[in-house]
Structure 1
Amino acid sequence: MKRKHPLDDAHQSGEEPPDDEPARQEPKDKHQRITIDPASSLPLPLPPPLDANAIASFQRDGFVLLSRAFPESTAQQCRALIWERLVQDGIEKSDPSTWVERHGIPEIYTAEDAPVWDGVLTPRLKQAMDQLCGRDRWEDFGCGWWMITFPDQAEPPWEAAGKWHVDGAAYQHHLDSKESGLLAVFLFSDIAPGEGGTALSVGSHKWIARLLEKNEPRGMKGGAVSFQARKFRREQVVEVNGKAGDVMLVHPFLLHARSKNLGQKGADSVRMMCNPNVRLHQKMNLNRPDGAYSPVEQAIVDALRKPPSHPDSE
């Protein structure tokens, strides 16, 4: 929005500027130079995408929703490309008889595939990731790890439909692993309650931190982490809901699962989401002398200093 000068109304109405405001000086001739302070012409810095309350909730619960992380128009164009990709696997948008409960797409999309994908990783999203992981600490990534779910394939009530897990089956997990610094859940379609948004186990990143601590220095395989964590009762589960263009930013230790898509709006209830794993350039530092931890690190440090109350085994 164009910034309005406080004198504009007066100038437009023909009124004189108030006494406490200096009158605008007009040049005596067209060759007279007017000096402008460069600092006064600079745009004001935008506030960070995540405020202190949002960061605190991320550390406490293990996730935070960044609304309007990228434009809805970009999400719409990406949806069209995904539907074209699904046709290759025999799934037609206009033919519900071809729909299945879930369908994975192995490709990772970047601007090299289509320019529109470059519009997903906006400066606003990148700044939020800097806030959570630390500036310049995470590696660039593409839109991958797609799991598309379709309506009319599952029976109520809404609940997790896949196994509860932490991402990263291919590497040995440690408290400071760099292989996963953040999980970003991209919404390319609107997802209302019960429409298959990822199920999140609130606060479970704290249990995982304690579990990994007990298994240092040898670490744990990803499958073993998930297997052990599934033994504990999940006291609170929330579903990822939001609008196309939102991104749920999730702590890498948080338990999550695919959920039932009970949507009733036909093709508009097809869940278009991807959840790429964001790697770090270096291992996390959980012993910073200056205490300048990233929120991802701080959540782990807090869990180790003040162990969470483990839910009872199921």
Structure 2
Amino acid sequence: MQDQLSPEQIKQFIEQGFVRVDEAFPAALAASIREILWKEIGLSPDMPEAWKQPVIRLGYYSAGPFVEAANTPILLNAFDQLVGKDRWVPCRNMGSMVLRFPSDEIPNDTGWHVDVAFPGEDPNDYLSWRSNIYSKGRGLLMLFLFSDVGPKDAPTRILAGSHLDVANMLQPFGEAGLSFMEIAGRLGDLPARKEFLATGKAGTVYLCHPFLVHAAQSHTGTAPRFLAQPPLLIRGDLNIYDENNGYVYTPIEQAIRLGLKQA
């Protein structure tokens, strides 16, 4: 098992907006978490006839196994490498949990979007939450695979390199940024990007730039998909305009600056 990201992986994060970390946490730990979640929803992996809903959302579990999965040595090192040492907040819960089940019913949450980071006028209305060019509040979008995810198992769809386009979109709006819906309404105007499927074995984690465009999809396989998508919170805003020659930009900052240069 690797203990830190390679230079090639960091380059991929900067240019493509994501990096896949295999065996980021033990498969046995993923199995323990699935067992907890099956009990939570009152269903069983052995009774597919009872799987009636295409999507079940849970969230914000802070029990030991969940926190352990988010704080393995490879992930802690990766946070330092991508966001900067002492510039991120340790994960103390697993954020939003999304369980997807095989179903002929098309879920209503499969649109392309960017996860937003700080509240707008109504903190209780997520659609009014916002993101800005400094990625206020958010260091990474993370996808934790708690089950094996193949091409038919509703893997998250990623538009590789789209974080560069979103940086350009956000730049004119400064500190205020744009809301979830404002960003979503502008995605159709962005350049075409290659679609990538976030597949992998249980224990895989995708570390993504917070500006990365992504989407859910229907489950056409046979085994339910268990995934969590916690944010990595940051301490303070990113630094993308510092002209001090002594400052070393972190990969997340480098990616934003790369996007602005490509405008």
CA contact (8 A) 1:154 1:262 kept: no
**In structure 1, distance between residues paired with 2:47 and 2:191:** 40
Q: Residue type matched to 1:103 in 2? A: I
**1:234/1:162 CA distance change after superposition, 3 Å:** farther
1:279 Cα offset (Å): 1.2
Match of 2:61 in 1: 109
Deviates more, 1:213-222 or 1:269-278: 213-222
Q: Residue type matched to 2:238 in 1? A: M
**In structure 1, distance between residues paired with 2:2 and 2:86:** 19
- Aligned counterpart in structure 1 of residue 20 of structure 2, from 57, 60, 65: 65
* TM-score computed with the length of structure 1 as normaliser: 0.74
How many residues are aligned here? 247
Indicate whether 1:153 and 2:104 are aligned. Answer: yes
Match of 2:49 in 1: 97
Aligned partner of residue 184 in structure 2, secondary structure: helix
Aligned partner of residue 230 in structure 1, secondary structure: helix
Counterpart mapping for 1:156-175 below 5 A: 162-168=110-116, 169=126, 170-175=128-133
**In structure 1, distance between residues paired with 2:98 and 2:151:** 18
- Aligned counterpart in structure 2 of residue 118 of structure 1, from 49, 57, 67: 67
* Bigger strand fraction: 2
Match of 1:214 in 2: 172
Moved beyond 4 Å, runs of 4+: none
Q: Percent identity?
A: 30
* TM-score computed with the length of structure 2 as normaliser: 0.87
Summarize deviations over 1:257-314 as a string: whole Å, max 9, x none: 11221113xxxx210001011110110011232241111110001111222xxxxxxx
- Aligned counterpart in structure 2 of residue 132 of structure 1, from 69, 82, 86: 82
- Aligned counterpart in structure 1 of residue 32 of structure 2, from 69, 77, 96: 77
CA contact (8 A) 1:49 1:66 kept: no
Deviates more, 1:289-298 or 1:211-220: 211-220
Aligned partner of residue 225 in structure 2, secondary structure: coil
- Aligned counterpart in structure 1 of residue 262 of structure 2, from 301, 306, 311: 306
1:161 Cα offset (Å): 6.4
Match of 1:292 in 2: 248
CA contact (8 A) 2:2 2:74 kept: no
Which of these two proteins has the greater Rg computed from alpha carbons? 1
Aligned partner of residue 181 in structure 1, secondary structure: strand
Where structure 2 has 5 or more consecutive residues not aligned to the other structure, the ranges are 117-125
Q: RMSD of the TM alignment (CA)?
A: 2.0
Summarize deviations over 1:214-266 as a string: whole Å, max 9, x none: 222542112211221134364311110111111000100001111221113xx
Summarize deviations over 1:93-152 as a string: whole Å, max 9, x none: 3332332211111x3112xx3x32232121211111111111121112211211111124
